[in-house]
Amino acid sequence: MKKLVSLGFPLSLCLMFLLSSYSLQDDPNGKAGASGAPGETTCNATDCHNSFAVNSGTGSVTISSSNLTDWAYVPGTTYTISVTVAQSSINLFGLCFEALKPNGDNAGTLHAGTGTQIKNKTIGGFQRKSITHNNNTGATANTHTFTFTWDAPTTDIGDITFYVAGLAANANGNEIGDRVYSTSQVVTAAAVGLDEIAASKEAVLLYPNPAQHNLTFSTSELSTLVNEIIIIDLSGKTVLSLKKSDWQISGNNATIDIESLTTGQYTLCFAANGRAISSASFHKIK
């Protein structure tokens, strides 16, 4: 009679190990580091959704924003980003989205929205943060839009690139027959020139005007991002720059000292991290 030999490894533990290994290899949620950014693949990589070449189908992936005008960011501002993946006769979609500096590091801060999450993966020495889909949250007919937010860097760091890969899955229980689409979008720092400042609406009331020694304005009319006042003369030269710590704040009003200015007409610019976001004109008298 043959004897059964126990290996000292309970069957239940074997099953747990196998199930755990399977879930790690076939995670139904989106994967980090698969946006198609430099140093990355997309979800079209080997042993993934690679039945067809990227962007070879009739579908698409697009990036849009309701408040990122002309793809120009103002430092410290929060923007709503939408990624739309589309393909007819498909009912399940996913994504991987990243915002990166030219050196490959994260640019700004991503915040997950409904149906998405943040995942990390180290690429080129940087722990990149990716917006990816949660399991089955992209289950809509023909198209799905994932919406989340992005905080622009607090200072002007130059050009930033959004990278995204979108997945159009046939929901057949495996990775065969799915389509992958990718795109990117360069985002530049918003620039405000003197002509734009001069033409802007004087949304902030300065008083007295004309002024001799001091100017006062209401802080309640200004964005909380404003941290500097820049005063420009008629030639476009900056003649005075005052940090927020230089303002004399009393309640909802703030006063600045303009005693050092010579007689003439000036434009006062309220700035956030060196970029004007509002302006008003005043006359200095002796």
d(CA 125, CA 106): 11
Question: Based on the domain organization, do 184 and 225 belong to the same domain?
Answer: no
Q: Is the pLDDT of residue 24 over 60?
A: no
Q: What is the CATH number of the domain that holds 127?
A: 2.60.40.680
Total domains in the chain come to 2
Top-confidence range, 139-153, 194-208, 211-225: 139-153
Task: Answer whether residue 152 is part of any domain.
Answer: yes
Last residue of a domain, one of 146, 168, 189: 189
Top-confidence residue, 243 or 61: 61
Choose the weakest-confidence range: 116-120, 122-126, 153-157. 153-157
Pair 200, 178 in one domain: no
Position 224 scores a pLDDT of: 67
| 126 & 235 share domain | no
Instruction: Specify whether 56 is located in the same domain as 98.
Output: yes
Structural domain contains residue 20? no
Residue 108 lies in a domain: yes
How much is the pLDDT for 176? 84
Q: Is the pLDDT of residue 280 over 80?
A: yes
Residues 149 and 163 in one domain: yes
Q: Provide mean pLDDT across the span 50-57.
A: 89
Given 171, 189, 207, the domain boundary residue is 189
Nearest alpha-carbon partner for 48 in 75, 71, 28, 77: 28
Cα 181 from Cα 239, distance rounded (Å): 52
Neighbours of 12 (CB within 10 A): 8
Higher per-residue confidence, 248 vs 11: 248
**Secondary structure letter of residue 204 according to DSSP:** S
Q: Say whether both 145 and 48 belong to one domain.
A: yes
Mean pLDDT, rounded, for 168-177: 84
Residue 89 lies in a domain: yes
In a domain? residue 15 = no
Return phi, psi of residue 50, to 5°: -115, 30
Q: How far apart are alpha carbons 77 and 200 in whole angstroms?
A: 20
Which residue range is the domain that position 44 belongs to?
Answer: 28-189
Task: Establish if 13 belongs to a structural domain.
Answer: no
> Are 267 and 160 contained in the same domain?
no
- CATH number for the domain spanning 271: value is 2.60.40.10
Query: Which of 42-56, 103-117, 183-197, 272-286 has the lowest average pLDDT?
Result: 183-197
Last residue of a domain, one of 154, 173, 189: 189
- In the predicted model, is pLDDT for residue 161 greater than 60? yes
Instruction: Tell me what pLDDT residue 221 has.
Output: 66
Mean pLDDT for 255-275 is 86
Indicate whether 42 and 112 sit together in one domain: yes
Q: Indicate the average pLDDT of the chain.
A: 83
> pTM of the entire structure?
0.62
> What was the pLDDT predicted at 174?
78
pLDDT in tens, 60-115: 999 999 999 889 887 788 999 999 999 999 999 999 999 999 999 999 999 999 99
- Whether 121 is covered by a domain: the verdict is yes
Predicted confidence band of residue 32 (pLDDT cuts 50, 70, 90):
very high
